[in-house]
Amino acid sequence: MLTRRCIALYSGGLDSILAIKILQDQNIDVVPLNFYSPFFGSEIIRDPESYKAHHLKTFGIAVELLDYTPEIVQIVKKPKYGYGKHLNPCIDCKIGMLKKSKALMETLGASFVVTGEVLGQRPMSQRREPMNSIERESGLHDILLRPLCAKQLPPTLPEREGIVNRELLGDIVGRGRKDQITLALSYGIAKDKIPSPAGGCLLTDEQISLKVRNTYERLDPKLPAEADLMLDIAGRQFVLDARTILVVSRDEDENRLLSSLVYAGNIFLKIADVSGPLAVVRGDFSPDNLRKAAAICLRYGKARGLQGHKALFGPDPFNMTESIDSPAVSDEYCKTFQIDTLK
């Protein structure tokens, strides 16, 4: 028997917000689930409670958070439906999220699942054929509802049974946002609070994809951990040896990001007596690697080219107690440790 309760995939973007609002307007009880990982939702990893509080206050949506990192790590390794332009396995990723949602339906008392997908909006996963494949592979045939473009698709079981009024659903198609913005304003969402279309999955970014690919290859046959992947999404990356990487921040925002990555196996490093970037070393903490890291870190700080400096290092970014010399090196030296395509 169908209930007036559903699960909604919630990315925090405008489309998923509107999909939920459309159903809440029909007195449907919606359980919003956010599947997060280092590639989408890294801010949740750093501060989940702030994320939940912001979305409740701004959009009135009480979101539940689910760590999707173990699943996406497996999916990126070998996606059945392949990748998009870079390392983004969009179809397999969406199928995985929907399968997890389906597994939670009985526990949550939900009888169907909702997404904010719009037909024709994304070239890989939101064309009619892949949308049909996603529905079939997820096991949600006839109970997967896409409220924003529902009138462009066959009626689902909740619509046919009268749980959801199809006439109140949308018929949006394509990549534009005009209809969504108009709808958002009608729901009382302030124009300056409407999420921008920027962002999304970081695996669609060429530079990040190259770093992630290198991480998989470097750690093979083991799969990367969350700590490995978080280092792929920010800063300048250097490969110190076959097992060791260095990430150096580019600005104050990245200093704050890197300082939050307190994982076992990370060592933080910075030049002792002048302002400059924070760095993270992960892998082999040999004296040779630490000297390389100190030299590169010095090169990107205010004391670049100057001899006689030391770097502090340790597992706590706010209490580094050990030190090592920081040799002055050239830009060319630093570039020898970068992935060729990132130089």
Report whether the peptide linkage leading into residue 130 is cis, meaning its omega lies within 30 degrees of zero: no
Residue 221 DSSP label: T
208: in domain: no
Assigned domain for 161 exists: yes
Residue 239 domain flag: yes
CA dist 230 to 24, 69, 76, 227, Å? 35, 11, 15, 5
CA angle, 159 as apex, 154 and 161 as ends, to 5°?
Answer: 125
Pull the structure tokens for residue 242: 């076959």
In the numeric block, which tokens belong to residue 249? 């921040």
Contact 289, 243 (CB under 8 A): no
- Tell me, what amino acid is at 121? Q
CA distance 36 to 285: 30
Same domain, residue pair 282 and 186: no
pTM over 0.85: yes
Query: Among 193, 211, 242, which residue terminates a domain?
Result: 193
For residues 290 and 160, membership in a common domain is answered with: no
Task: Give the separation between CA 216 and CA 220, rounded to whole angstroms.
Answer: 6
Which structural domain range is residue 270 located in?
234-342
How many domains is the chain built from? 2
CA dihedral 171, 173, 175, 179 (to 10 degrees): -30
Give the pair of three-digit tokens for residue 216: 């998989």
- The one-letter code for the residue type at 61 is I
- The answer on 182 and 58 residing in a single domain is yes
Residue at 87 is within a domain: yes
Q: Residue-wise pLDDT tens for the chain (343 aa)? A: 789 999 999 999 999 999 999 999 999 999 999 999 999 999 999 999 999 999 999 999 999 999 999 999 999 999 999 999 999 999 999 999 999 999 999 999 999 999 999 998 876 677 888 899 999 999 999 999 999 999 999 999 999 999 999 999 999 998 889 999 999 999 999 999 999 876 689 999 999 999 999 999 999 999 999 999 999 998 999 999 999 999 999 999 999 999 999 999 999 999 998 989 999 999 999 999 999 999 999 999 999 999 999 999 999 999 999 999 999 999 999 999 998 655 5
Paired with 246 in beta bridges are 238, 281
Q: Which residues contact 198 (CB under 8 A, 6 or more apart)?
A: none
CA dist., res. 149 & res. 172, Å (int): 5
The CATH number covering residue 76 comes to 3.40.50.620
Looking at the fold, whether 186 and 242 belong to one and the same domain comes out as: no
